[in-house]
Amino acid sequence: MTAPPSPLHLYAYDACPYCRRVRQAFESMGLTYLSVPCARGAKGRAAVLRAGGKAQFPFFADTATETAFYESADIVDYVREHYGLEEPGRWHKAAAFLSGFGRSQRVAPPELQVPENTPVVFIQEAGDEFRRVRRLLEDLDLMHWVRTTGEGPSPTLELPGQTVHLVGFAAIEAHLTGPQP
């Protein structure tokens, strides 16, 4: 398996309510995107500060159009407009309403090298086990591809180029934090 190609990069951290709104919208659209952890001390936080001048989250980059910006409503609106994706439900209405309050300043995306072996995580926004996996990846400052559709009621993690397919928080944690061969 190879890392899923996607020009969409989301710089966020788990405890941020605005980041959660964007993750929920991306999930409802069925997007695949690169998640770059931005908790205090994370490499992603420093990259956002260099690119945009402030440590505000979420921060979004579309490497296909070489644009990046802040503001959760603008992020959702941009993806919907540029990728033709409609997401159902109340967030769509809120994003349409809020996006009229002023567009974010656009900047160049942060310089980011995505390793070929970047893990792919099948994850949803809701649920304690999914949240625990997100926080583990954040604590490890491990960027990862997020696929928001389909692997069932438990988070899964795959490692490109390897036959590793882990299901559930305990297996993912043991693999990522245990002794490495």
CA distance 56 to 107: 13
The span from the CA of 131 to the CA of 142, in Å, is: 15
Q: What token pair was written down for 120?
A: 């792919």
State the amino acid at position 38 in one-letter form.
C
**C-alpha span between 54 and 71 (Å, rounded):** 12
* pLDDT value of position 163: 80
How many domains, the chain? 1
| Residue whose entry in the numeric block shows the structure tokens 């990862």 | 144
Longest pairwise C-alpha distance within the chain: 52
The confidence score (pLDDT) of residue 147 equals: 86
For residue 5, what is the DSSP state?
P
All residue ranges of the chain with pLDDT < 50 are 1-3, 88-102
Tell me the one-letter amino acid at 144: H
**Can you give the residue range of the structural domain that contains 160?**
1-181
Alpha-carbon span 152 to 125, nearest angstrom? 13
φ, ψ for residue 10, nearest 5 deg: -115, 120
pTM of the model as a whole? 0.83
CA-CA distance, 50 to 54, in Å (whole number)?
Answer: 8
% residues pLDDT > 70 (the chain)? 81
145 touches 34 (CB < 8 A):
yes
C-alpha 89/C-alpha 17 separation (Å) is 18
Whichever domain contains 22, its CATH number is: 3.40.30.10
pLDDT tens for 93-118 read 444 444 444 456 677 678 778 888 88
> What integer pLDDT is reported at residue 112 of this predicted model?
79
Going by their DSSP bridges, the two strands 156-158 and 165-167 should be labelled as antiparallel
CA 82, 95, 108 angle in degrees (round to 5)? Answer: 45
